[in-house]
Chain A
């Protein structure tokens, strides 16, 4: 190293021998001393984030991406959810173990006999972080903001079960007074729904239904302005268990325990630091270097390694999402249901999952994930090569003869590629047909799918709430997320009219089962697997159970410093 430096200095001096050497050497020297200082500093043993976090009660959380923002009525993503539930709180929250509703801003609630009217009694202790009480009028004002047609809230539909909410949000109704939310007194609210909606309380844990602080928002702009700085560290006022203390773009976001939160005695963490970790491989390395307590995900290839560890930090749990291929039923050869069925039957999902997916997902045979709050979907599309060959022959392509070719579209992603390449070969082997693969960049892919400019396309769907309806209403005629050309009035009748009017859970689930059987009979989609959450969790982290919604409730989380990571 020293020799190298000497040579470097010599050459620099030679190069600038015409009276410029002093400056050149100065800069080179400062560069070298800079490097040396950094090296020395790096070699001194530093305390890792995890160790320091355990000592201070601060959770270091890999959060996927930089949040778009923190305005609950503007943002659309999951990373934003993880932060907003720390800073704000809805009328009800979720128990992370059971997903049952728990008191939030509302201390308790009453549901009318017909299931259409909810009365919420607000907690007198509920406060904003500036000390103001959280009142019924705050909630009414916030819901009006969330539904406002000029706001452009992409999750406004979360409130559509509320009477007239949809009409107001789409501009068909001018008067918010006709929407089914009403302030009875300072701390009592009455919400009227269109129909009994068994999952309504779940929606109150979604950020688009959260109350926001009116005075703060109006201080920095109009109620529906998306561009105001009210969510900045120095301005933001929330009502959640934590308050925002630092927000450095693409670097980290820090929250600390709120002194005004009504349930502060149960909050055990002193704070959370969120890191934008959009690259799963980098995130895994940060975890290995003890810079994170929790990761969002784990690269597929690393799973076998982590599985074999004693006291493995790898956590794998069912998740309310389905991975499937959409089939465009309006173009040949997929306009023939026999071809669609043949494709679905020729896939060995067990083998796919056991090999390229490292047994990390659950093979799926229908669109709704099994055991969605006690609902079990029909299983109609098992692996059956003989039947697949027969169907294909009936459709006019015996042993692939005369097959016109088929293009499978997926968005650019390593895991999607793996699935597609494996399936391409399965179809070739079972049916002797050629499938070409095409990957497109995300937005191009979205454009192709929504224009139905594809034949077969990879798709994923995450339920907005734990109920089969969140999956099944995707395929009604002309549904905004249908994109398959599937349209069956009998199906719509079941989903849109009969299921919402059902009197009991059994009756409702029976109707769902009937509808889903009809759907899978027609195969406008090929289900492949049910998602799972896959993450790394340091052993010192407690009270962070996996659940179907991957719902985060930071009140339950604490750190147990004694527990050491396995080396």
Chain B
């Protein structure tokens, strides 16, 4: 067992070789590369949207109304006669931003909180997890409405509100992982050689718990995007004519029988993003899972 601990590369100082190895392994995973490429493409499109969008996203054509895909409007138009492709491109800007930023916020808080609670244990753990319990149990809608009234509407608040809700589950999962890992020999060894708790958490626990965390992150991004739709629908966050994929999908769902394209195309954009995230997440997990690499 001690030998195992010593050969565990995560024991070694995190040199550049670990990340280089991971990168090499990631590059070999074709699906992960595909996911990365799609995401990169979406991000580039989102950045360039104001210059490459085929139409002005506020431009209406009420007489035209909702029309199926055609030569002028490749993905059709919505009930106001606005070009759907343009809507999706602009919506992507918001959705991607919300998805990545809010998840990063949730990740930062959740992982730190869960790792500290799980590592320190005892009374600190009890208090920290009770805080999580309290936040879980609060009425979400009231919380959101209050935020909106107190702070006014802006997109930063949207990120914070979503991050504040999403980190809770992240913290619970991280804590569960850390509790398991803490019992393992290499952690005990690290404690015995006198490493500080912060170092142990940062260098040993978080890297070893990365698997489920990465998976959960790839799950959090889509749910964050959908939560954003719900919040915008409630009146927090973005306002028309601005839009997002989540909002486009919820509008599309209302008329899925009459105008299916209003649901299908935004749905495809979101699904493609999610699949890409998924492949990338799996690839990253495999690439970083150092122990599995020797097999």
Contact = CB atoms under 8 A, between A and B. Distances in A.
Q: Do A and B bind each other?
A: yes
Interface of A: 281, 299, 301-302, 304-305, 351-352, 355-356, 412, 414, 417-418, 420-422, 424-425, 428, 436-441, 444
B80 A422 contact: yes
Contact of A301 (B234, B241, B258): B258
Given A441-B235, A444-B145, A444-B148, A356 B62 contact: yes
B49 interface: no
Contacts of B234: 412, 441
A7 B287 CA distance: 32
A281 B153 CA distance: 29
B241 A439 contact: no
Nearest to A421: B240
Interface in B239-255: 239-241, 251, 254-255
A439 B234 CA distance: 8
- 9 closest cross-chain pairs (CB), A and B: A355-B62, A301-B255, A439-B235, A425-B60, A440-B235, A437-B240, A421-B240, A437-B239, A301-B258
B62 A351 contact: yes
Contacts of B233: 412
A355 B62 CA distance: 6
Nearest to B66: A301
B72 interface: no
8 contacts: A301-B79, A305-B257, A418-B80, A421-B60, A422-B80, A424-B240, A438-B239, A444-B148
Nearest to B241: A421
Contact of B80 (A356, A412, A428): A356
A358 to B, nearest CB: 9
Interface in B246-282: 251, 254-255, 257-259
Contacts of B240: 417, 420-421, 424, 437
Given A355-B62, A422-B60, A444-B149, A414 B254 contact: yes
Contacts of B254: 281, 299, 301, 414
Contacts of A441: 141, 145, 234-235
Contacts of B3: none
Contacts of A424: 240-241
B63 interface: yes
Interface in B145-195: 145, 148-149, 153
Nearest to A302: B258
B80 A305 contact: no
Contact of A421 (B63, B80, B257): B80
Main SS of the interface on chain B? loop
Contacts of A299: 254
B197 interface: no
A422 to B, nearest CB: 6
B63 A355 contact: yes
A491 B157 CA distance: 45
Given A441-B145, A444-B145, 13 more contacts: A299-B254, A301-B254, A302-B258, A356-B65, A424-B241, A425-B80, A436-B239, A437-B240, A438-B153, A438-B235, A440-B148, A441-B141, A444-B149
B62 A439 contact: no
Contacts of B79: 301, 356, 418
Contacts of B257: 302, 305
A420 B153 CA distance: 18
B58 interface: yes
Interface in B24-47: none
B235 A305 contact: no
A421 B58 CA distance: 9
Interface string B79-119: 11000000000000000000000000000000000000000
Contacts of A440: 148, 235
A444 B235 CA distance: 10
B62 A422 contact: yes
Contacts of A356: 62, 65, 79-80
Nearest to B235: A439
B84 to A, nearest CB: 15
Contacts of B239: 436-439
A91 B26 CA distance: 82
A424 B58 CA distance: 9
A349 to B, nearest CB: 12
Interface in B131-148: 141, 145, 148
A235 B58 CA distance: 58
A439 B240 CA distance: 9
A62 to B, nearest CB: 18
Contacts of A417: 240
A386 to B, nearest CB: 21
B145 A304 contact: no
A178 B184 CA distance: 87
B137 to A, nearest CB: 21
A244 B104 CA distance: 56
Contacts of A301: 79, 254-255, 258-259
B251 to A, nearest CB: 8
A437 B58 CA distance: 13
A428 to B, nearest CB: 7
A355 B234 CA distance: 25
Contacts of B63: 351, 355
A424 B59 CA distance: 11
A192 B90 CA distance: 65
Contacts of B141: 441
B246 to A, nearest CB: 15
Contacts of B60: 421-422, 425
B258 A304 contact: yes
Best-surrounded residue of B141, B235, B255, B259 (most CB of chain A within 10 A): B235
Nearest to B60: A425
Contacts of B80: 356, 418, 421-422, 425
Contacts of B258: 301-302, 304-305
Contact of A425 (B58, B145, B153): B58
Contacts of A438: 153, 235, 239
Contacts of B62: 351-352, 355-356, 422
